[in-house]
Amino acid sequence: MSRLPEFHAAKWDEPVVMELGRPGGRGQIFRTPEDEIASEVGADLIPSGMMRQDRPVLPEITEFEAQRHYLHLSQMTLGMMGVSLFGTCTMKYNSKTSEYATLRPELAEVHPYQHPDTLQGVLSIIHDFDHILRSLSGMDQFIFQAGGGADAAYTMAIVARAYWADRGLLDQRTEMVTSIQAHPCNPATAAAAGFKVVNLPLEENGYPSLDALKAAVSDKTALIMINNPDDMGIYNPEIKEWVRVAKEAGALCFYDHANFNGVMGKLSARELGFDACMFMLHKTFGAPKAGGGPAVGAFGCSDELAPYVPCPVVTKQGDTYILDGDRPKSAGKVREFWGNVPQVVKAYAWARGMGAEGINLASDISVVANNYMDKRLSQIPGLAKSNPDITANRMEMTRWSFAPLCEETGIGTVDVANRMADYGIDPFWMSHEPWIVPEPFTPEAGELWSKEDIDLWINVIAKIADEARTDPDMVKSAPHNQPVAQVNGDVFEDPQKWAITWRAYQRKFGGANGSGAKVE
């Protein structure tokens, strides 16, 4: 085993920024305008009726003090600067070139209410990226309004609702069929759109059988929503037959491509028969996750469903890009404007930088890396693999379990995650509902991380599994090398014990200067 990193996070006795500073502290002092400027444009550019009568309640600090404050905070945050095999959310390097591009005034200073003639550069990128995703999926139209994967699933649900309402069949087509291992956003959003959810259980191959699907679909089925591969890393080879069975019942078919990373460049949703699909730009396409957002769920569909998508839709007429809002059958907006455009630009840059060959190679590396990781994890005592009877290779992630270790030592997945931070390693994703695997964790190597990075991450897991047997109390009380130890989550159940704004903090815990009872 290679040497594990010796890590200890900084710990600063850092107050909140509103408690810093002193009277007279300034980050910048503006000079009084020269007489000739004042006489030309006026010294008082703000109308007197709009002028404040009192000073804002803001900290008076210098630029250096503000910078030092936020540097201290960043030093106390692990912040995904280690090795992060996050799992179910592919972590990729976020190019600084792309970050710089989105800060340019041509993008940062434009507004969606501008006339489209003044937005041609931005609209051209959206239009071109739409066509890149068409080439990867076989779909006929992509939009980027949805604010993430769940939002894109909801887009499918309301598009399906509009589609069936337009045909006078919404009262008949009332059901959505999915499976227990599908992402929870699929049944949740379908239910939010008014559909009854039919959830199919898993069978011996790790996915529902065709017979179960045939029994579930009928003339009541509005759509099926499915992800493939799933978070166990299992790909359903019968997916094309699934689509055929659903189509025979008259249903629409939606492909949740959140786990596209291992199959990108290898398959087309449209060739499999799907009517619509979605991609998560903040996962597969190299746009940053930024702590859970901002996100974009790119929604693509066939020409048959295109009239129902949220608008406006970026289209091209001759050499001009326009915002097409004249879509009388549109299901309505799922978010404001056209979506998170900076994220689209970053994803576009990633796709153009990778090219078709790079995307195809990345999916190969992702699958190879996952199976290498699976092989090494299987050699660590105390770990169990989901669907252990399935010996076939998994795709770009696999759901694992600490259940045997927990039964032996009392150390579970949360304990291991806390202890990982002591080694400067980002903890794994502990999976989401439904928890069909006890004490779950779902690592995903993707194509970014080197073999050395993957080995280091696995070695930390092996070390903690050994610590669980030799010193379980030490693991239970982790982290030890972080500025904050374990957080008592009970406090979050009572809003009177916490505050997320300075104004709320003053109101709940003190007077004008925030003094008084301390927040827990």
Q: Indicate the SS3 state at residue 177.
A: strand
Task: For residue 383, give the nearest of 434, 335, 428, 328 by alpha carbon.
Answer: 428
Q: How far apart are CA 270 and CA 413, in angstroms?
A: 39
Closest CA to 325 of 307, 343, 300, 341: 307
390-410: per-residue pLDDT in tens?
A: 988 999 899 999 999 999 999
Beta-carbon contacts of 44 under 8 Å, excluding residues fewer than 6 positions away, are none
Whether omega for the bond prior to residue 312 falls within 30 degrees of 0, making it cis, is: yes
Q: Which helix (H) or strand (E) holds 149?
A: helix 149-166
Q: Residue 450's pLDDT band (boundaries 50, 70, 90)? A: very high
**Residue at token pair 């009192």:** 54
Query: For 516, left (φ over 0), alpha (ψ -120 to 50), or beta?
Result: left
What is the model's pLDDT at position 338? 87
Residue 484 confidence (pLDDT)? 84
Write the CATH number of the domain with boundaries 113-353. 3.40.640.10
Cα 68 to Cα 65: distance, rounded to the nearest angstrom? 5
Gap between the Cα atoms of 84 and 63, Å rounded = 33
Per-residue pLDDT at 516 = 42
d(CA 109, CA 259): 34
Q: Map out the domains of the chain as residue ranges.
A: 1-45+54-77, 113-353, 357-476, 487-520
Among 458, 445, 455, 456, which residue's Cα sits nearest to residue 90? 445
- In tens, the pLDDT along 332-354 reads 999 888 889 999 999 999 999 99
Question: Would you give the distance in Å from CA 514 to the centre of its chain?
Answer: 35
* C-alpha dihedral sign at 257, 261, 263, 266: positive
Edge-to-edge strands of the sheet including 440-441? Answer: 384-385, 400-401, 440-441
Q: In 3-state terms, the chain is what percent helix, strand and coil (to 5)?
A: 40, 10, 50
| Under 8 Å between Cβ of 247 and 276 | no
Q: Which are the contacts of 354, defined by CB distance < 8 A and separation ≥ 6?
A: 362
DSSP at 143:
E
| Nearest Cα to Cα of residue 465 among 358, 374, 382, 387 | 382
Region 62-88: what's the mean pLDDT?
87
How many whole angstroms separate alpha carbon 443 and alpha carbon 373? 9
What does the block give as tokens for 89? Answer: 């959310």
Measured between alpha carbons, how far is 385 from 232 in angstroms, rounded to an integer?
Answer: 9
Among the listed ranges 34-38, 122-126, 163-167, 413-417, which one has the minimum average pLDDT value?
A: 34-38
> What b/e sequence results for 458-486 when a residue is b if at least 16 CB atoms lie within 10 Å of its CB, and e otherwise?
bbbbbbbbebbeeeeeebbebbeebbeee
User: What does the pLDDT read at residue 90?
Assistant: 83
List of residues 6+ apart from 77 with CB closer than 8 A: 9
pLDDT band at 19 (very low <50, low <70, confident <90, very high): very high
178-189: average pLDDT: 93
Distance CA 473, CA 477 (A): 6
Tell me the residue length of the chain.
520
CA 264-269-275 angle, to 5 degrees, is 150
Report pLDDT digits (tens) over 470-520: 999 999 999 999 988 888 888 889 999 899 899 899 899 875 444 444 444
Q: Which helix (H) or strand (E) holds 135?
A: helix 120-137
Beta-carbon contacts of residue 375 (< 8 Å; ≥ 6 apart): none
Q: What is the pLDDT of residues 95-134, one digit of tens each?
A: 889 999 999 999 999 999 999 999 999 999 999 999 999 9
B/e letters for 342-356, b = 16+ CB within 10 Å, e = fewer, are bbbbbbbbbbeebee
- Stretch 202-227: mean pLDDT, rounded? 96
Contact 75, 9 (CB under 8 A): yes
Q: Is residue 191 classed as helix, strand or coil in its secondary structure?
A: helix
Give the integer Cα–Cα distance in Å for 308 and 156: 10
C-alpha distances in angstroms, 502 versus 16, 63, 262, 508? 9, 21, 45, 10
For the cut 80, the answer to whether the pLDDT of residue 46 exceeds it is no
Mean pLDDT of 12-30: 90
- Per CATH, the homologous superfamily of domain 357-476 is Aspartate Aminotransferase, domain 1 (3.90.1150.10)
